Amino acid sequence: MKSPGHVASLVTDAKLVGERRAQILRAAVKLFSGEGYYTTTISQIAREAGVSTGLIYQYFGDKDDVLFLSLKLVLETYEKEIPPRLAEVKHPVERLCMALWAYCTIVDRLREATVLAYRSTKSLRADRRSLVKQDELRTNRLLHDCLRACIAGGYMRQVNEYLLVYQYVTFCHAWALKHWALRDKFGLGKYVSEGIGLLVEPFLTAKGRVTLAAMRRRTANFTRSVTATKPAKRARAA
């Protein structure tokens, strides 16, 4: 019996499967986000992708397969791309801020897919919904580990970690979900900066605030990469 996460393909060339699926999923995300999952047909996805309907069925069994891999794509992107952005960032406060920054930049690049994940996860089969939820929880743990390190190091006071992590996740996703309202008031860097002011800074201890202030200066309030220059000496010693 195949696992819930398995999506069969009639094509055996792994490279070709990856390329074709990516092409089809881009089209599917656009249509599912704009038209809705239930009203979008495989024929419409084929036209949008510039392929035949029959070709889609060489790479996917049905529309549920297409939706499942569309959602997996965005969630796995969070999980894969945030850790490398943290690799050279050592200070707990900087790691937490960088994780939020990285998360928001990924959401910005994948706004349609992020909206789709909110709208359409419930349309999946129950066993696949469970897999998607597990993917989300793994990304949440990345943020939770950063938050816990801030508290353990004395850079942040004790908080309800579980609840605050979900505030972080909601904040990052809101850049896609409410982009129509936010885009005229904030650039992405300003949005991240204001969010950190609301969701990180109020919980910092004195030495945590010293580090954040140095990071703000060094990154021009989160408009320049955190790894562009070395941390200030005072921040490293904090």
pLDDT digits (tens, 9 = 90+) for 142-180: 999 999 999 999 999 999 999 999 999 999 999 999 999
Question: For residue 50, is it within any domain?
Answer: no
| Contact yes or no for 151/205 (Cβ under 8 A) | no
- Residue 119: give the domain boundaries: 70-237
| Contact yes or no for 142/135 (Cβ under 8 A) | no
Q: d(Cα 219, Cα 227) in Å, to the nearest integer? A: 9
Burial class of residue 126, CB neighbours in 10 A (0-12, 13-18, 19+): exposed
Question: For residue 19, is it within any domain?
Answer: no
CATH number for the domain that contains residue 125: 1.10.357.10
| Contact yes or no for 114/164 (Cβ under 8 A) | no
Question: For residue 21, is it within any domain?
Answer: no
Question: For residue 133, is it within any domain?
Answer: yes
Question: For residue 64, is it within any domain?
Answer: no
Q: d(Cα 228, Cα 193) in Å, to the nearest integer? A: 17
Residues comprising the chain, all counted: 238
The percent of residues in the chain predicted with pLDDT above 70, rounded, is: 94
Question: For residue 230, is it within any domain?
Answer: yes
Say what angle helices 92-109 and 188-199 make with each other, to 10 degrees: 140
Say what the pTM is. 0.85
Q: d(Cα 155, Cα 177) in Å, to the nearest integer? A: 31
pLDDT digits (tens, 9 = 90+) for 1-50: 578 888 989 999 999 999 999 999 999 999 998 888 999 999 999 999 99
Beta bridge partners of 204: 156
Question: For residue 136, is it within any domain?
Answer: yes
Question: For residue 204, is it within any domain?
Answer: yes
Number of domains the chain contains:
1
